[in-house]
Amino acid sequence: MSGVAVVGSGNYSLEIDTGFVQDAFILDSVTAGVLNNTQYVLDGTTNFAEVLNGCTNVFVKRGRRDIGDQFSAGSMSFTLLDTSGIFNPFDEQSPYYDSTTQKPGLAPMRKIRLARYSNINVKEYLFTGYIVNYDYNFALGGIDTVTVYCADDFYLLAQTFFAEFNVSEQLSSARLSAV
């Protein structure tokens, strides 16, 4: 069965978008720049890294506690043990470091997915969203840890800014068309 087994709970998968697109169309490339190519496509496919093996805890919060509370963005946080140093943003030898752009692959606004596998090995996503922040904790003489904070798409919606817009009374369908 796929995923990582969690005692008494089933198999789970925690994946982070590494920032690398594995099969993207590249202009002026002999192999990846051929039009109507089925192997290299315009938007490419995102590479995800499975990180649940080094994870010590996962905390997911969605919705609201009471009916009177405001509905807010879903959030998730988890902590990773960085025993080999591969999550260190300064490690240029890390498999997650993008040497072409000189940037760490694991960075804010990368996609994140938490899934659980059913008894028949069907993957069901429990949380999908974006990484908002990383806290890398250097432990002198101990194991470094990375705490990752994530939010779902409502976080992006809350960050949206509209240009000047005069509101007038209208049906919801007309409002959506106008916006």
Which CATH code fits 4-178? Answer: 2.40.10.10
Condensed to tens digits (0 to 9), the pLDDT of residues 109-126 reads: 889 999 999 888 899 999
Q: Kindly state the average pLDDT of the residues 162-172.
A: 73
Alpha-carbon distance of 166 to 39, in angstroms, equals 47
The whole-model pTM stands at 0.74
Question: Residue 76: which pLDDT band, with cuts at 50, 70 and 90?
Answer: very high
DSSP for the chain? --SEEETTTEEEEEEEEEEEESSB--TT-TTTT-TT-SSSBSS--EEEEE-GGGEEEEEEE-S-SSTTSPP---EEEEEEEESSSTT-TT-TTSTTEETTTTEESS-TT-EEEEEEE-TT--EEEEEEEEEEEEEEE--TTS-EEEEEEEE-HHHHHHT--PPS-------HHHHHHH-
Give the per-residue pLDDT at 50: 87
**Has residue 1 got a pLDDT over 60?**
no
Condensed to tens digits (0 to 9), the pLDDT of residues 30-75 reads: 877 777 777 777 777 777 888 888 889 999 988 777 788 777 788 9
What is the phi/psi pair of residue 176, to 5°? -60, -40
Report domain extents, the chain. 4-178
